[in-house]
Chain A
Amino acid sequence: MKAPVYFDYAATTPVDPRVAQKMSECLMTEGNFGNPASRSHKFGWDAEEAVELARTQVADLLNCDPREVVWTSGATESDNLAIKGIALFYKGKGKHIVTSKIEHKAVLDTCRHLEREGFEVTYLEPGSDGLIRPEAVKAALREDTTLVSIMHVNNEIGVVNDIAAIGEVCRAAKVFYHVDAAQSAGKIPIDLAELKVDLMSLSGHKMYGPKGVGVLYVRRKPRVRLEAQMHGGGHERGMRSGTLATHQLVGMGEACRIAQEEMASEGSRTLALRERLWHGLNDMEEVYVNGDLNAHVPGIINISFNYVEGESLIMSLPEIAVSSGSACTSASLEPSYVLRALGMNDELAHSSLRFSVGRFTTEEDVDAAIAQVRTAVEKLRELSPLWDMYKDGIDLDSIEWAAH
């Protein structure tokens, strides 16, 4: 079977060959395999140098100080460290956290854990456009709020929150602001010298780096302190112990370098691909895009095909790899919690697909996807009693369905 065409760059990206090359140079006897923490010989010094170069490459992408870059195993760990780290360190000051209903599970589940530990969490609702308003954040702040965690780009629908404005609200109230930037870093500009963001989570494998590596940005001025979640040799200034995985960090550093260098050209290219995809589908009846397209990351688009169920649609598209909801939630039969939070009815939420394009997507790929999706949707609508009813002018909301 021919491999399907990949339209799931928001789930993960392949490693860029340039990144793989750099990583492979840090593995074997003749390579840079030393422990970066070894102070007594050249193997250690060389590894440390490679790790520090990578740290600088990350810092350059974000316009921050390399000393503000803490290596982790991925964005999930970064989210955990940021949220638990702040909540626990500052618990004497307050035990209230503000986040949103459409965060990644790594944020939501961490907050749920803290609720069980006696913290209080406010989950903000997005507008129907998928955006969290700075005013809503402001209104949710309390005397005992220590942390706000609102993502930059939502992984399911691709909308971009105004983290600059949310940062201003938080700084004015002297509340720490954490941003999950797994979907935005390397895709759209981030300037931490300007942004009032105190902590930011990044993932290597969403930007053509390897899986198993991530970064937590921790601001130095004003200083942010964390309670470590991983104890050991005191690596990463005590915030995250564990031997640094040279090849992984070098890979992420190189991925950041490439992303920065190619951001402008890749951004416009992927945007053109996304627009080509949407223009190829939006003349169909009862097809909707989810989230405000005016505040959007270039590579992601989430589309609802009304009266067609998402899982069967994916089954009809064996030649393209797409996802319904995020890969972390699509094992369950529940419709996406993100789409539900937008106020969308469950049937439309059940009928949505996320397409995400990236560095290796071509116009031909997009055109092939358009043709296949159109055929599949038409076939499934022929099979759909709901489509019949829609065509007969029956309002589906007027029917009393027996929920099961």
Chain B
Amino acid sequence: MAYSDQVMDHYQNPRNVGKFDDNDDQIGTGMVGAPACGDVMRLQIKVNDDGIIEDAKFKTYGCGSAIASSSLLTEWVKGRSIDDAAQIKNTEIAEELALPPVKIHCSVLAEDAIKAAVEDYRKKLNDVD
């Protein structure tokens, strides 16, 4: 199977690989997928007091398309408000990366990851208040 240039680019030069401290209140973490299914994504966002995502990091176990989906996602969420970021749709990711039908689930996972990260951040925020 041939990969699109966009997938190859993100796969070969993944953006924003890394890890933030889970315990930091500014950080929201979304971990989705399962090793048994062959994909696990961990997406972390760093949110400022205005609710804007200042930074994002990811690590992904999975195929090239899963890695590319999460790498792209970290680029897209930076500078957006958490409300805005939670609106990102898997179809936008699939379109940008030109994912074939068998790889659409990778973009779905990425959408789940940002939603989970935002939810985690909100939960932390409520706990603090």
**Co-assembled chains A and B:** yes
- Is B79's CB within 8 Å of the partner chain A? no
- Is A178's CB within 8 Å of the partner chain B? no
Contact indicator B35/A396 (Cβ below 8 Å): yes
Known: A311-B64, A382-B17, A385-B31. A346 touches B59 (CB 8 A): no
- Is B109's CB within 8 Å of the partner chain A? yes
| Interfacial chain A residues near B66, Cβ < 8 Å | 309, 312
B interface majority secondary structure:
mixed
Contact indicator B34/A333 (Cβ below 8 Å): no
| Interfacial chain B residues near A307, Cβ < 8 Å | 61
| Interfacial chain B residues near A384, Cβ < 8 Å | 59-61
| Interfacial chain B residues near A382, Cβ < 8 Å | 17
Q: Which of A333, A346, A388, A401 contacts B33 (CB 8 A)?
A: A401
- Is B36's CB within 8 Å of the partner chain A? yes
- Is A172's CB within 8 Å of the partner chain B? no
Instruction: Tell me the chain A residues, 264-320 only, with Cβ under 8 Å from chain B.
Output: 307-309, 311-312, 315
| Interfacial chain B residues near A385, Cβ < 8 Å | 31, 40-42, 59-61
Bound Cα distance A22, B37 (Å)? 48
| Interfacial chain A residues near B125, Cβ < 8 Å | none
- Is B119's CB within 8 Å of the partner chain A? no
Could you tell me which A residues sit within 8 Å of B by CB distance?
307-309, 311-312, 315, 333, 335, 345-347, 350, 382-388, 396, 401-404
Please name 12 further chain A to chain B contacts, defined as beta carbons within 8 Å, in addition to the given A312-B66, A404-B32, sorted by A numbering.
Answer: A308-B61, A309-B63, A311-B64, A333-B38, A335-B38, A345-B36, A346-B37, A350-B35, A384-B60, A401-B40, A403-B37, A404-B33
List the 6 shortest-distance A-B pairs measured between CB atoms, nearest first.
Answer: A401-B34, A347-B35, A346-B36, A385-B42, A385-B59, A311-B63
